[in-house]
Amino acid sequence: MAAYGGVKAGGWTRPASAVAVATAATLALWGLSLLIRRPEGWRPPTGADVALYVHLFTVIPAVPLGGYVLWRKKGDATHRLLGRIWGAMMMVAAASSFWLQGLSGGLSFIHLFSVLTLVSIPLGVWHARRGNLRGHMNAMRGVYAGLVAAGLLALVPGRTLGTLLFG
């Protein structure tokens, strides 16, 4: 059996593409972490800081990875593997968002996207396992659209991320 990129044929079809996406996401994440500066200087991280970093370390790579999974060929082993990684990152990002209460000190309407994610990812998996590919596709597209919308809304001045990045 022929091998491609160190993996048997019939397994991963484009491992170099998956590595490129993961590398780009990691570089973007580290670049973002360099942009985040505290006006008061360095201080030990608080629980909110840890939640913010967990959230950012899962949500930022999820943007390009999710786009790639939606764009590429569906149904093969690579799609399933990358989809599982993306789904896990989205579940962690959604759960960690509830510890991010922003400058207002409470939960905001953006947290509705987290609830949508926590419901839609398991629903999408359920649809896929039952062979309802349309239901699976709609659930995952909805989560990805929510991810992009929530990310854009988080950059608005006055929100935590917008304030950290743009002042």
State the Cα–Cα distance between residues 58 and 43, nearest whole angstrom: 23
Helices (H), the chain: 15-35, 47-71, 77-97, 111-129, 133-154, 160-166
Higher pLDDT among residues 34 and 8, named by residue: 34
The burial class, CB within 10 Å (0-12 / 13-18 / 19+), for 38 is exposed
**Mean pLDDT over the full length of the chain:** 78
Quick check: 166 pLDDT over 50?
yes
pLDDT at residue 114 in the model: 92
Instruction: Please compute the mean of the pLDDT values over residues 35-58 and round it to a whole number.
Output: 69
Here the tokens at position 137 are 């596709």
Residue 127 binned pLDDT confidence (cut-offs 50, 70, 90): very high
Q: Has residue 120 got a pLDDT over 90?
A: yes
Cβ neighbours of residue 65 under 8 Å, at least 6 residues apart? 21, 22, 25, 82, 85, 86, 89
pLDDT attached to residue 9:
44
Q: In this structure, are residues 66 and 147 in contact, taking their beta carbons and an 8 Å threshold?
A: yes
Q: Locate tokens 């950290």: which residue?
A: 164
pTM, full prediction: 0.72
